[in-house]
Structure 1
Amino acid sequence: MGHGGHDIGGHKVAALAGLSFNLDTLYMTWLTMLVITVGILFVRMNWKLVPDGWQNFVELVIEGLLDQIDSTIGPGGRKVAALILTLFPFLLVSNWLGLIPGFTSPTNDINTTLGLALMMVSIAHGYGIKTKGLFSHLKHFIEPNILFLPINIIEELAKPVTLSFRLFGNILAGEILIIILGILVPYVVPTLWLAFSVFVGIIQALIFTMLSMSYLSNSLQEHHEVKKEG
């Protein structure tokens, strides 16, 4: 069961060179990128010096995210501003796609959410190594002392797992419930749940983005503090 005959949680799989690819996820991911690209081009072509309606909303979202970047990450936050400002709309559009009949959310596939989570954690480590050096960055694994090494490693491995499963689980569950409610109690209840799912899509995109910022802040803020002390 699913939108337009698509099985929620199931995927059309294609094999290539011994690897399996979820075609519906790939299609919807490219569609998400297309929607965002077209939206950005539209905004840029119609940008006014004196903002009105929709431009006020866009500026409000951008300024809100930039303020959050500054408060969460600190002075080094603007280095990753472009990444965060791209991540949030990508997640938002991805989460909402599955609410349209005939479409699915790329984020209802654990491969997408885990890939995004691994990317953000890897970038955080990359910035940590770049700004502080490899050994200084890895030093936090044995803090406050070497006995905490196993705990710190487990905590680090848990970051992408919890980040990805939270987003994946909420989006997949929302799509499943819309279908079930549509069968059991047509019209009113599914419509109300659809509106709620739009809200959930926003919240889940914000949570993923905020947690990603917190991971990045650990690298960028620590570097700032080291520089200040030196």
Structure 2
Amino acid sequence: MESLSFLHNPFVPDHVTYMWFVMALLIVSALIVRGALELYPGKFQNVMEVVIGGLNTLVMDTMGPHGKPFFPLIATIALFVLLSNLLGLVPGFGCPTANLNTNAAMAISVFVLTHVMGVKVHGAKYVKQFLGPVAWLAPLMLPIELVSHLVRPLSLSIRLFGNMEGGHIVIMVLLILAPFLVPVPILILKLLICFIQTLVFSLLSMMYIGGAMEEAH
């Protein structure tokens, strides 16, 4: 499916253009809501309050009270991923999250924040989680723990990329083979995947950050 001509720039990759487009939509939406806050909200404000309220509940339930400072980050990631996923379903548009670079940027940010918070909360003791419960296991546990942590951003990126790109490929093949008979269940499934992958990415991000701050460390 070709990109819209007015969004295509020969000097900027398409996924970057669509990423900026999604960012602009989120910023404009936030400004509209902030500038038109009412005691008796309208439809748009109602929708945004439900979305933000739901995300706040998800963060508090997953991370506990100490997760409140991370709500802006998690909410931004969730809204960006969801809107990016859904954008790929609109004819003529591309999906920013169907590119590894976009996903890696978010995953690396979460990865860095995870360990920054771990060190901030536990200090030098944070390093002990990489060494195992007893000293003689340290030579074995250190490489295992390092690999497991380094794989996290890779896993976050590839999981989201695979599901988004795979779904688009299926739909494109169906459009080519049967342009007038594209099964509605496939489109519904793709829509569900958009929401599920947003939830998975957000939950894993919260679990990684929250896990680094646990007292067990």
TM-score category (smaller protein): 0.7 to 0.9
Q: What residue number does 1:137 align with?
A: 126
- Within the alignment, does 1:209 sit opposite 2:202 as a pair? yes
- Alignment match of 1:124 (pick from 107, 114, 118): 114
Q: 1:73 touches 1:220 (CA, 8 Å); kept in 2?
A: no
Q: Does 1:165 align with 2:158?
A: yes
Structure 2 counterpart of 1:179? 172
Deviation at 1:172, TM superposition (A): 0.4
| TM-score, normalization by structure 2 | 0.87
Note the alpha carbon deviations across 1:70-94, whole angstroms, 9 max, x for none. Answer: 1221221011111111111111111
1:210 counterpart letter in structure 2: L
Count of residue pairs brought into register by the alignment = 211
Greater Cα shift, 165-174 or 89-98? 89-98
**Matches of 2:91 and 2:55, distance apart in 1:** 30
2:24 counterpart (26, 30, 34): 34
Moved over 6 A (4+): none
TM-score by length of 1: 0.83
C-alpha displacement of 1:194: 2.8
Task: Give CA-to-partner distance per residue, 1:4-44, whole Å, 9 cap, x none.
Answer: 599xxxx9885xxxxxxx61111111101001111111222
- 2:61 paired residue among 66, 71, 74: 71
CA distance 1:174–1:3, change in 2 (3 Å): farther
Alignment partners' CA distance in 1, 2:149 and 2:10:
31
Q: 1:54 to 1:129 in 2, by over 3 A?
A: same
User: Which string of whole-angstrom CA distances, capped at 9 and with x for unpartnered residues, describes residues 31-59 of structure 1?
Assistant: 01001111111222333212354433322
Q: Which consecutive unaligned segments of at least 5 residues does structure 2 have?
A: none
In the alignment, which residue of structure 1 is the partner of 2:84?
94
